Amino acid sequence: EVFTAIAGLEDLLQTESRLIHTLGNYIKDQGKNLEILKRYYQNYKNHYDKASKNVHLHVTNPINAYILIKKLTLDWKRVEVLITRSHNLEWKSRLKNIRKTMQFPTERDLDGALDALIRLQDTYRLDTAALARGEISGVKSSSELSADDCFQIGRKLYETGDNYHTQLWMKEADARLWEEGGTVRRSDILEYWAYSVYKQGNVSLALDLTNKLLEILPYHSRALRNKFYYEQELQNPVDKTKKDQDHVEDVEKEVYKKLCRAEISLPEAKSSKLKCFYQNSNHPFLRIAPFKVEQAHLDPDILIFHNVLSDCEIETMKQLAQSRLVTAVFENPHSKQLELFPFRISKVAWLEDQEHQHLAVVAQRVAHMTGLTLSTAEEFQVVNYGIGGHYEPHFDFQSTVDPAIGSRIETVLFYLSDVEQGGATVFPEIQVSVWPQKGSAVVWFNLHPSGDGDQRTKHAGCPVLIGSKWIATKWIHERGQEFLRPCT
Ligand SMILES: O=C(O)CCC(=O)C(=O)O
Ligand SMILES: [Fe+2]
């Protein structure tokens, strides 16, 4: 016991001094924590207030969507660390509970959102600085990208070997770091930036940037080595053609992107032959209610049927699909991980004709539109495209087919939504773009009358720039059409 002698009490004062010290540090630490948490709080609140004014408008913008996903993955993880650091069991369990009961995006979502921004910039040639400010062809998002975001995008581009875009994003990251600060280190930005401009052939800028990096970290060994190397190369320039030419792309991809951007249209000689007409054959019912058809291309015929779905039917399709939408994934044979198909970013649901009267009616209408039988057709496939969602050029006919139904002879693709920007259906071989119009359908034969695949029907769904794209597809198969579309 300590009360029996003064010496014991003196020791207690030492204990007290230690406690004061510890408590002081704890308060300082918590104060700092709280300051940071307050900033997160204000930031989340500002974001939510803006977003909740018009939720649909907000999330159909790819920058807003990316920021939202980032706030609920990376940012929230940091908040959780700050809160649980205090070892307060009650708060720990509250946070755990939110994780259990609410929906959170995953790292893969964040990755996908970054990929989407990159794809959109590439396809639609978006200006880096404007995109970082949250501007997409004149439309301003309510969010902006930070220096950290720009750096993440740049790093991803670097990993894919796209030095041209890496350099643009690192430059933007640096500008934003100066203006607004951030957690990314300037030395990291400079290192990626220098290397990507070097790979682009700009050795003197690479040297400048490396020198800037060395001002910050004078003993950075890689930078010192590169500086030596760049200086050598400036004195004895190497053959420029050896540098990577990653901005030279293959022609088909270039045509595809041009079609997506509406930079190519049919030549006059072809477009002047196109007509609009009322179709009233195929069934007596069409005498009363003919279809309004527009030719988008002749041989192969690409037809647009206008106003063939009612809003009611569209709502039914979307609603039935909503709870069943799944992302197609495959197992990567190397990593054994489930991965998304990079060439098709969307969610898909299948609906049977008999599920709802509206679907049965629409299926009947498809028979009237095409003059074919649906006895061997597939169920309706309803698709919703996510952020930057797309479907790269492909054929609808398959290489292996079930002889009982044959291959996909004809595609009937309904648009269940308008798309604010982007999202065209394009045919690179014949240079046709069809723009989604809610309630219309685009129809084409995938097979020649002989049954061979028609190579000219290669087509794609362009990345959705702004908006949400919904389609429903009916694939009609060969069997049963022998007398309806006879072989010539
Ligand atoms: O989304 C589009 O416009 C095209 C979709 C498509 O080609 C398909 O689903 O097979
Ligand atoms: Fe397709």
Distance in Å, CA 425 to ligand 1 centroid: 7
pTM exceeding the 0.90 threshold for the entire prediction:
no
The larger pLDDT score, comparing residue 177 to residue 180, is at: 177
Instruction: Identify the band that residue 244 occupies on the pLDDT scale cut at 50, 70 and 90.
Output: low
pLDDT tens-digit readout, 295-304: 999 999 999 9
Which tokens sit at 157? 């581009």
ipTM value for the complex: 0.99
For ligand 1, atom 7, name the residue with the nearest CA.
Answer: 460
Pocket test for ligand 1, best of 425, 432, 434 (most atoms within 8 A of CB): 425
Give the dihedral sign, CA 413/417/418/422.
negative
Lowest-confidence range among 27-31, 331-335, 421-425? 331-335
The 3-class secondary structure across 265-302, one letter per residue, is CCCHHHHCCCCEEEECCCCCHHHHCCEEEEEEECCCCE
pLDDT of residue 5: 74
Pocket test for ligand 1, best of 348, 383, 465 (most atoms within 8 A of CB): 383
Give residue 226's Cα distance to chain centre: 35
pLDDT higher than 50, residue 246: no
For ligand 1, atom 9, name the residue with the nearest CA.
Answer: 473
Amino acid at position 309, single letter: L
Pocket test for ligand 1, best of 391, 394, 427 (most atoms within 8 A of CB): 391
pLDDT tens-digit readout, 268-307: 999 999 999 999 988 898 999 999 999 999 999 999 999 9
pLDDT tens-digit readout, 95-109: 889 889 888 898 888
Which tokens sit at 127? 């200006």
Work out the burial of residue 81: count CB atoms within 10 Å of its CB; fewer than 13 is exposed, 13-18 middle, 19 or more buried: exposed
Long-range contacts of 21-25 (CB under 8 A, 24+ apart): none
Say if strands 432-434 and 425-427 run parallel, antiparallel, or are unpaired. Answer: antiparallel
3-state secondary structure of 403: coil
Mean pLDDT value across the chain:
91
Residue 255 to residues 5, 444, 454, Cα–Cα distance (Å):
93, 20, 19
Distance in Å, CA 396 to ligand 2 centroid: 5
Residues having CB closer than 6 A to ligand 1 are 383, 391, 396, 425, 459, 461, 471, 473
Distance in Å, CA 461 to ligand 1 centroid: 5
Domains delineated in the chain: 1-105 (no CATH), 266-477 (2.60.120.620)
Lowest-confidence range among 243-247, 339-343, 471-475? 243-247
Cα separation of 319 and 304, whole Å? 25
Instruction: Identify the band that residue 30 occupies on the pLDDT scale cut at 50, 70 and 90.
Output: confident
Q: Which atom of ligand 1 is nearest to the CA of 411?
A: 10
Q: Which atom of ligand 1 is nearest to the CA of 442?
A: 3
For ligand 1, atom 2, name the residue with the nearest CA.
Answer: 461
